[in-house]
Structure 1
Amino acid sequence: MKLVRFLISREGFISVFCYTITAVFSFLSFAPLSLPFFVWVAPFGLFIIEKRNRGDWKKLIYHGFGFSILFYFVSFHWVYHMTTVFGGFDWYLAVPIFIGSAILLNFKFPVYLLLFSFLAKRVGRFFPVIASVSILFAEFFTPQVFPWYFGNVVAENQILAQNAEYTSAYGLSAFLFFVSYYLFYLRKPRSFLRLFTSFLSKHKGIQKKIVFAGLGIIFVSALFFANGYYLFQKWSQVKPIAEREVLIVQPNAPLEFRDGRNPAEEIRNLMTRIDTMTEIALKQNPVDLVVLPESGIPFFTTHDTEVTRYSRIYWHQFESLMAILSLRHGTNVFYNELDADVVPTAMPGRISRRDVRMYNSSVLMNPNGERRNSYQKVFLLIFGEYMPFEWMYALSGQTGQFAPGTSLALIPYYEPRKNSTSQTKDLHWEDTMVMGPGGVREYYSKDKVEEKTLGSFLPLICYEVIISEYVRKFQGDPDFIVNVTNDKWYGNSVESYQHHTLGRLRAIEFRKWIVRSTNSGTSVFTDHLGRNIDNDFTPIETTAVIRKKVQVIPGEMTFYRLYGNLLSYLYMGIVGIVFLFYAKRNS
């Protein structure tokens, strides 16, 4: 009842209005709408609530939860769809999970309000700096839904986005709140008039303060724009050392069969579809690499071991088709699969179900149809690939029980076959009914080429691409980044565009192209400046192919790859020390 009375009161109306300002304006600024003007006023809702409740810690916490829930509902409404479809939860379980995750995974809002209010009371001035360091702290040290930072929205501006090479999204968040608070102060004509008359005042002390504040805003803004422009020009002029022709096949594979479809028939149709799409795309124009998405062939593996056979995930026809695709066109094929091994503590010579570990894995097959390096997904998706608590698996039969991978190695790929196949009749999916992987390789044995490494790429599965701190752990100099994902769990929503945009900054941090291959859209190529090539996105929930020439940018360890979030830590540390001495001196 207290909540209802609050919501219908004047205070409640103002509060919900503030929540809405931040939630809606942030959403409008972000993909796919991408209206960046709104981002500069999106924090106003937070500023108003903090100012009205400064020092009232309990209210600030409640308001933080209000921001969390409404922000989550507007920007991440597709999480409910994921919980019901991906996790398999009924609605009466999905709703509390949605609300609970909204609070826990957006805890940055109450933390931001508390820290801002604390510093505002202790310091009493330098509010743009307080706003920027508070959001930086909140984004660093609280869990996120899919590490989503306000700086990702700022990066919709192509020039400002280039600063991510030094600061990642964190620094752009700090810049946004620094500028936004100054705009917030000037939101009323009366405030602007007061500022103007103070500047004209004969009181030199007031004049100095106004001039100092104005020059600070101008300097910081000029610094970010100038550095962004410099980096944009610098990297625009870098000549690639090579180009690789890459084909993305988007098969729109089914997720599950709870609607009554025949699984065997659907899988046969999927295999035929992939076979046909690839053949048509490559009949006259070969490529260096074919990329299939996450869950492009769900449920199976090409890794023939005692464990995978015991687990009934190895399927020889799957391996045969992948060999056909690579041998028929003499190219590398990168595809997603299941994989399995046993825990080290398992009894020797015996395999039991509880000893088997399953992995979300992606593998490269070379132009000779031979299985080579694989990468197992490290960051697993909660409520889809694992549950936070063992007892929760009983609530959803749809959720997988995957183990995280450990390797952070790049994936080598090899020189493609330069000549067309010597066979007068190519193999297709239907031939796998009677011909195993060994037979396929024997059929194309005359076309076998010497295995020569052409380069390597950095493999990422699903939302790993949006975790900047994780991606920089990979060692070596990749030619480009490959992100395979399956966004079909989220339906025809904005999630796919948001997912891509959150990961787009990795191209700037690494100064490498990104090949994004999705099961059902949106697949796209992004260059080392964070630009989507030709703005060519594949449609959502449909089959499609897309091919581009991916430029290999000369290897250079960028500042972010070398030092990570050093600048953000320095900024928080220096400001914290200055504020500590200032507060003590004026206490």
Structure 2
Amino acid sequence: MKLLRFLISREGIISVFCYSLTAVFSFLSFAPLNLPFFVWVAPFGLFLIEKRNRGEWKKLIYHGFGFSILFYLVSFHWVYHMTTVFGGFDWYLAVPIFIGSAILLNFKFPVYLLVFSFLAKRVGKFFPVIASVSILFAEFFTPQVFPWYFGNVVAENQILAQNAEYASAYGLSAFLFFVSYYLFSFRKPKTFFRLLTNFLSKHKGFQKKILFGGLSFVLVLILFFGNGFYLFQKWSKVKPISEREVLVVQPNAPLEFRDGRNPVEEIRNLMTRIDSIVERELAEKPVDLVVLPESGIPFFTTHDTEITRYSRIYWHQFESLMAILALRHGTNLFYNELDADVVPEALPGRFSRRDVRMYNSSVLMNPNGERRNSYQKVFLLIFGEYMPFEWMYALSGQTGQFAPGTSLSLIPYYEARKTPSSQTKNLHFEDTVTIGPAGVREYYSKDKTEEKQIGSFLPLICYEVIISEFVRKFSGDPDFIVNVTNDKWYGNSVETYQHHTLGRLRAIEFRKWIVRSTNSGTSVFTDHLGSNVDNDFTPIETSAVIRKKVQVIPGEMTFYRLYGNLLSYLYMGIVGLVFYFYVKRNS
């Protein structure tokens, strides 16, 4: 009742308006709508709430959670869909999970309000700087499952996005709040005229103060736009050292069968569909690499071991088809699968089901149809690939129990076969009923070529691509980045566009192209400037293909790869010291 009385009061109506202002304008600025004007006024709701409740710490915390819930409801409404479909929870469990995750994973809003108010009361001026350093602190030191930063929205501007090479999304967040607070200061026309009158007066103190503030604003704009323009021009002129033809296959694989469909029939139809798509696309136009998405063929593995056979996830027809695709067209094939091993303490040949660890794994098969390197997903998705507590697995039969991978190695790939297959009759999926993997390789033995590594790429599975601090841990110089993902769990929603936009900055931080392969849309190629090539996205919830020539940009360790978030930490540290001595001197 107390909450209801607040919501219908004048203060409650104003508060909800502020929450909505930030939530809706942020959503309008972000993918797929991409209306960049709104991003500069989106923080106004936060500024208004802080100004009206400055120093009232308890109220600021409540308002922060108000922002969290409404922001989640507007921008991340698809989390509810993920909880019900991916996690398998009933609605009466999904709703509190949604609200709880909105609060627990958006602490940045109450933290931002508290830090801003604390600094505003003690410093009393330099509010644009306070706004920028407060959002940096809040985004750095609060937990988030889907790392979403205001800087990601700013990066929709092609020039400003280039600054991510030095400061990632964090630096763009600080820039946004600095500029936005200046605009917020002039939200009332009379404020502008008052400042203009003061500047024209003969009071030198006023003139100096206004001139300093205006110059700092202009200098920050010049710094970010100027540096962005320079980097855009610099990297636009870089010539690639080679090009790789890459085909992305989007199979739209089924993920669950609670609607009564026959799983065996659906999986066989899927395998036949992938087979025919690849043959159609590569019959006349060979490529260097074919990429299948996460869960492109779900539930199974091509890794034939005692453990995978014991776990009943190895399927010889899956391995046979992958070998056929690679050998038939003489190309590298990168695909996703389950994989398994046992805990170190398990005895050989005497392990139990409790000893088995499952992995979300992606594998490279060379042009000779031979399994080579694999990558196991390191960052697992909560409520989808693991539960935070053991007892929660009983609530959802859909959630997997995966173990995180440990390797951060690049995936080598090899020179594709330059000649078509010598076989007069090619193999297809229906042949895998009678021909196993060894038989497939024997059938195409005359087409075997010398294995010659021509490069490597950086593999990322699903939302790993949006975690900048994690991606920079990979060592070596990749030719490009491959992100395989499965956004089918989120239905026909904006999630897939948001997912890609959050990961797009990795192309700028690394100055490498990104190949994004999804199960059901949207698949796309992104160049080293962070531009979506030809703005060509595959449609959602359908099978499709997309192919491009991926440019291999000369290796260069960018500032962000070398030093990570150093600039953001320096900025927070320097501003903190300046404020400390300023307050101490004036107290």
TM-score by length of 2: 1.00
Residue of structure 1 in register with 2:133 after alignment = 133
Moved over 3 A (4+): none
Query: Within 5 Å, which residues of 2 pair with 1:401-420?
Result: 401-420=401-420
Q: In the TM superposition, what is the alpha-carbon distance from 1:201 to its structure 2 partner?
A: 1.3
The match for 1:161 is: 161
1:485 maps to amino acid: T
In the aligned structure 1, how far is the partner of 2:84 from the partner of 2:334?
30
Q: Which amino acid aligns with 2:239?
A: K
Structure 1 residue 10 displacement after superposition: 0.2
Aligned to 2:585: 585
Q: Secondary structure at the match of 1:290?
A: strand
Summarize deviations over 1:362-405 as a string: whole Å, max 9, x none. Answer: 00000000000000000000000000000000000000000000
Unaligned runs of 5+ in 2: none
SS in 1 for 2:473: coil
Distance 2:254 2:333 in 1: 21
The one-letter code matched in structure 1 to 2:122 is R
Distance 1:303 1:347 in 2: 20
CA distance in 2, matches of 1:213, 1:143: 34
Q: Is the 8 A contact 1:106 1:145 kept in 2?
A: no
Shift of 1:346: 1.1
- In structure 2, the residue matched to 1:307 is 307
- Equivalence for 1:523: 523
Post-superposition shift, 1:557?
0.2
- Matches of 2:306 and 2:199 in 1, distance apart? 80
Q: Provide the residue aligned with 1:355 in structure 2.
A: 355
Residue 65 of structure 2 corresponds to residue 90 of structure 1: no
Query: Residue 70 of structure 2 aligns with which residue?
Result: 70
Structure 2 residue aligned with 1:464 = 464
What's the counterpart of residue 444 of structure 1?
444
CA distance in structure 1 between the aligned counterparts of 2:321 and 2:562, rounded to whole angstroms: 41
SS in 2 for 1:338: strand
Amino acid corresponding to residue 415 of structure 2 in structure 1: E
Q: Give the structure 2 partner of residue 292 of structure 1.
A: 292
1:145 Cα deviation from its structure 2 partner: 3.6
CA distance in 2, matches of 1:192, 1:145: 41
| Per-residue Cα deviation, 1:66-100 (whole angstroms, up to 9, x for no partner) | 00000000000000000000000000000000000
Question: Are residue 432 (structure 1) and residue 432 (structure 2) matched?
Answer: yes
Cα distance in 2 for residues equivalent to 1:350 and 1:204: 86
For 1:488, the equivalent position in structure 2 comes to: 488
TM-score scaled to structure 1, two decimals? 1.00
Aligned mates of 1:171, 1:280 — CA distance in 2:
46
Alpha-carbon distance between aligned partners in 2 of 1:99 and 1:61, rounded to the nearest angstrom: 16
Q: Residue 244 of structure 1: SS of its match in structure 2?
A: strand
CA distance in 2, matches of 1:499, 1:349: 42
Q: How far did residue 349 of structure 1 move? A: 2.7
SS in structure 2 at match of 1:256: coil
CA offset at residue 119 of structure 1?
A: 0.1
1: CA distance, partners of 2:187 / 2:155: 24
Shift, 1:345, TM fit: 1.3
1: distance between equivalents of 2:199 and 2:238? 46
Tell me the SS of whatever aligns to 2:504.
helix
What is the deviation of 1:195? 1.2
For residue 171 of structure 1, what is the aligned residue in structure 2? 171
| Structure-1 separation of matches of 2:546 and 2:559 | 32
Question: 2:212 maps to which residue?
Answer: 212
Mapped to 2, the partners of 1:94 and 1:26 lie a distance apart of 25
Question: Separation in 2 of the partners of 1:304 and 1:329?
Answer: 23
Distance between the aligned counterparts of 1:61 and 1:145, measured in 2? 21
**Within 5 Å, which residues of 2 pair with 1:79-158?**
79-158=79-158
Cα separation, 2, equivalents of 1:76 and 1:216: 35
AA partner of residue 353 (structure 1): R
Could you tell me how far 1:348 is from its partner in structure 2? Answer: 3.3
What residue number does 2:268 align with? Answer: 268
* Partners of 1:408 and 1:442 in 2: CA distance: 33
Q: Which amino acid aligns with 1:298?
A: P
Q: Which amino acid aligns with 1:455?
A: G
AA matched with 1:89: F
Name the residue aligned to 1:4: 4
Q: Identity across aligned pairs (percent)?
A: 88
Alignment of 1:365-380 (within 5 A): 365-380=365-380
Q: Matched residues in 2 for 1:474 and 1:199: separation?
A: 53
- Give CA-to-partner distance per residue, 1:183-233, whole Å, 9 cap, x none: 000011011111111110100011000000000000001100000000000
SS state at 1:265 partner: helix
What secondary structure, in the 3-state scheme, does the structure 1 residue paired with 2:136 have? helix
2:382 corresponds in structure 1 to 382
Q: How much is the aligned-residue C-alpha RMSD, in angstroms? A: 0.4
Q: Which residue of 2 aligns with 1:566?
A: 566
Q: Structure 1, unaligned stretches of length 5 or more?
A: none
What is the rounded CA distance, in whole Å, between the counterparts of 1:201 and 1:4 in structure 2? Answer: 50
Across the two proteins, how many residue pairs are aligned to each other?
A: 587
Q: Does structure 2 retain, via aligned residues, the 8 Å contact 1:295–1:519?
A: yes
Provide the rounded CA distance (Å) in 1 between the counterparts of 2:321 and 2:348. Answer: 33
**Aligned partners of 1:368, 1:92: CA distance in 2, in Å?**
51
